[in-house]
Structure 1
């Protein structure tokens, strides 16, 4: 098996583990099941007229904006369907260059990356981690568009992290074992990087090697616990009997940014790292079972527990309090990081609830009240928002740091008539009581998924990134795909396709554009996939469940999502680019949509095998960074031989103008 084949098998296996259906609920997903066919949903403006509530079709905030020329001011690029494609392409008049790759120096003293991956774990602690994902540019006050800090998540690791791939062997009991040096290197390649960047005298962006801000946060870094679960008995372990500080952050996917200037890293598929071999205990421990913690011989994929006991959550038979059975409870949180204070310990904010959280995107109202939106990225999971108890006050920076430690976590129900409710996950309300398995508010937050099940929230098709329109506060969420919709979960208005291989984007308006509202109205913004009437390679029409309604360039599996200041909606994809159903969409890409006209145009295509993810800009939107995660051949060298590296790519317009305009 070649390195490329091994790489592809790895991501197929890991995606299957990440996206497994864990939700056991078979309850109806809506107040009443949708009787209309998918064809009715595609009539008119995505079937909004058929919803017929509020006396007629919804008026969306974007539609109230002045209608003028298209927001999309660039020529779209062609899809790339070749398995040998190993580049990044952008429209005419734009340039893209590799800027920051796995193994690049973060700390000044970091050794030079070795192309044979023979760097040890101590070197990896000083170098860029693997699988770049969500990120954000934080400008310095004196040079907003020319100088700042770039914070980049490193979601997980590729087999190419090691010279000969990941090594597994079995002991006498049949359990998988791992070499300690590989496990330590993998832990060092997780977390995030913070790097200082600036334009040089020629106007070229460069990394600043000698910077006091440059640092790595890894799976071995101390991180404080804050909020309701700090010191709770369910957070205590043998290594932290007080339950106040966790070692490390894992599987940081997307993110969020606060108005007080901190970064919110989000822990997603943490379940792959732990195992509980005690079958009876596993079934009784909802915080393990409902989150998919491994319950066989080994953790679902990494087998770190073979050399690092804190990843073995099996309770000790005689003295369970001495073990690490609570260690999984310490992951799945929002991690707040101050990029401008390298001495500050990151903090896990437990009031925001424990999820397989994709993002934590903030919407700020004019009165200082706010909401943080999150998708729980697995088949049949939910959309959430956290509403802090207090209000943001720019004049009280110290007080703002405590805003995420108290508030209400809500989960969404999307009704068939286009209305929706935010259901509060509050202990003692709506049946979230001890009689139903929820002993206190801490227990509700620890098993937010179980609480959402009980309230009959709407199971979604893998909710991922959320984006908030900068003018209207409309909220958009990507629903990447769900091959089990129709078999494990009922088809409904928000998730209208069985065997949904292409995904969709949904949007909603909070009542009165208030981020803290408990009701909203929603619609399907688009369904991804082939155009209706498309013929497959045999000359037959593409199956109905594989067709969408995109106005413009087609794509599959929307994932990353963000708005720029002008209201352009940028969409990133994460599909299996060599699958039969992506024969026409091809390699993963970055697209741009006009929220008013719904036109979609392809802006960038990445290498075969890669996911396109992570997006950020300078405040003037003249410099953009995106991430190419797990490229499949040899990117960024693109010579067909060099070990591929996840890479942050810098994009600019050749004339220095606003990107996309």
Structure 2
């Protein structure tokens, strides 16, 4: 089995790939510390920190939360911690782990990763991430489907890690069987759940269960379906795609379908032709590799679809357009195991974290997303039509027509949505956008020209069920001051800890094109905290949290009572997280801004994915890539990404 250091090195490499700066609006390398400090003073003089000061003032208030009905758990800073801890009166149980059976004919997980790719296609995939519980209308509190993303793979997927054979030109050769297993371990699991007679949820190997993977046929839908820029040697019609990649967070539609979002798809492709790579903005702006191999996986060595180097002798130059077929929202009908997933091109191509719906009383709606990389943007898509709850199947066409917008956060606390429409403003053929399809294919480049605000790694979005306020997590960006100008929404040059923003759309309408925004909190240490050497923590690492400190907010979600749940993805081995330790699930009261730590996960893991049963008496979260032996927690078993089920011992509502 790969050792612990190999496990950590793998995730450090993935993190480095995921967080490269691709936005050309970044400041030049010569932008030095003197300019950063000068810029910071200028921002202060201009009043750009006004929203930040509002958050700081709330930190010192005396209001006590009426929403948070549990006692905080302690942070865990030991690198041998290998459990999940929840408050007194709660129970946390491993529920669904990598390798568990999904389909009735799936083999039992062996424990040594010796299963082949055919077995993996029948079992739970790796690196559980975003998820949602869909209840059956006939018995919503006791019967439903749990849909879970499997973002990428760990070295532990293979008995001794991935096998690679280096070539003289710097490329790497993989084995077909290992690559097929990795492709099978990506994607989505759909599992049926029922409450038994004692009130406990149990997995059911029923007819609804399904594994969707990087090998599953899908259809392109919307403006780019059949477009020449989507055609490849294996799909000359440009309408049929094999598989989905890097499904991180997600969304749910009002008509009951699941939206899986393709995030860091760029790590899977390579274009070895430097001249061709240089003239393709859809390769450059999205980080498609241009070395001897793709940046990490080297699937192209056995699967030609992932080699985007042009092949003039092949139809459509081979697979040069294959990367264009990833980076989309994928709509899945969880209740129809025979349905074909749809990639929704009207919603734009991004490194998208999520697609979260805000629905107005009249059926109008917007879908919010973060594009998770340093210096990328916050987005929303507004469909042209309205949802009709009496005809939910007709609503599925709504995501094929609409307008994509990127956010601009102004210094005065106002914000505006900038429309990505061909022919408007700079989005013309002269600037590389000959049609609307080109705008959607290179949405990042279009937002660059429009002047959207580059953000510090925007991740999950959550919409309050009480007032439709919108929250976005900005995980971190320690390179902010040396790569992008500071601004009111991204005020820290060495942003190790991240922040959460919130805004109110004008009139409370999802379709509004302007909004009021503020910094809900800056993550980081409490004032007076000491570092590992016993010295006061640097001022730039102090947050504005009222309550339990944390770093790197990632997952966000609201429960029905309006509690904001926050999940973290920090590097617990870094010096600046000395006081936070293992990653956490926290809960915030949006009114008082009090934050309490509800859960701590095992060392090496990200805490991600969150969903509830309809009665909010069961909570599921995901422990992704644990670093020791969770969920066995015996110090030697192979660690497994795991969905954890959390209940109250008295059967009450979680968090109340």
TM-score (norm 2): 0.96
- 2:442 corresponding residue in structure 1: 447
**Is the partner of 1:450 in helix, strand or coil?**
helix
Select the residue among 99, 104, 108 that pairs with 2:104. 108
1:466 to 2:461 alignment: yes
Structure 1 residue 48: Cα displacement? 3.7
The equivalent residue for 1:53 is none
Say if 2:114 is the partner of 1:97. Answer: no
Change over 3 Å in CA distance of 1:33–1:395 after alignment to 2: farther
Aligned mate of 2:211, from 213, 216, 241:
216
1:516-562 per-residue CA deviation (whole Å, 9 max, x = no partner) reads: 11100100000000012222233322112111010000000000000
Q: Of the candidates 201, 224, 228, which is equivalent to residue 197 of structure 2?
A: 201
- Residue 453 of structure 1 aligns to a residue in which SS? helix
Aligned twin of 2:116: 120
Cα deviation digits, residues 358-411 of structure 1 (max 9, x gap): 000000011110000000000000000000000000112232010000000000
Distance apart, 1:68 and its partner CA = 8.5
Residues 15-414 of structure 1 aligned to structure 2 (within 5 Å) = 15-26=15-26, 35-37=42-44, 46-48=52-54, 70-209=66-205, 211-319=206-314, 321-414=316-409
Give the alignment's Cα RMSD to 1 decimal.
2.0
Q: What is the correspondence of 1:425-444 to structure 2 with a 5 Å cutoff?
A: 425-444=420-439
Choose the corresponding residue for 1:606, options 587, 601, 604. Answer: 601
Per-residue displacement from partner, 1:82-109 (whole Å, max 9, x unpaired)? Answer: 0000000000000000000000000011
Q: How many residues align?
A: 643
SS at match of 1:35: helix
What's the CA shift for 1:37? 3.7
What SS does structure 1 have at the residue aligned with 2:596?
strand
Show structure 1 runs of 4+ deviating over 6 A: 38-43
Give the unaligned 5+ runs of structure 2.
Answer: 29-38
How far, CA to CA, are the matches of 1:147 and 1:258 in structure 2?
Answer: 20
Three-state SS of the structure 2 residue aligned to 1:187 is helix
1:203 Cα offset (Å):
1.1
Change (3 A) 1:49 1:649: closer
Say which SS state the counterpart of residue 7 (structure 2) adopts.
helix
Contact 1:505 1:525 survives alignment (8 Å) = yes
Residues 592/42 of structure 1: CA separation in 2 closer, same or farther (3 Å cut)? farther
Aligned to 1:54: none
Work out whether residues 610 and 622 of structure 2, in 8 Å CA contact, stay in contact via their aligned partners in 1: yes
Task: Kindly indicate whether the alpha-carbon contact (under 8 Å) linking 1:34 and 1:492 is maintained by their aligned counterparts in 2.
Answer: no
Distance in 1 (CA, whole Å) between partners of 2:210 and 2:149 is 12
The yes-or-no answer on 1:424 pairing with 2:430 is no
Q: Is the 8 A contact 2:248 2:262 kept in 1?
A: yes
Worse-matched range after superposition: 165-174 or 554-563: 165-174
- 8 Å Cα contact 2:102-2:209 kept in structure 1: yes
Q: CA deviation at 1:42?
A: 7.4
In the alignment, is residue 10 of structure 1 matched against residue 10 of structure 2?
yes
Q: Name the SS of the counterpart of 1:596 in structure 2.
A: coil
TM-score calculated relative to the size of structure 1: 0.95
Check 1:40–1:539 CA distance in 2 against 1; reply closer, same or farther (3 A cut). farther
Contact 1:130/1:154 (<8 A) preserved: yes
The answer for the alignment partner of 1:659 in structure 2 is: 654
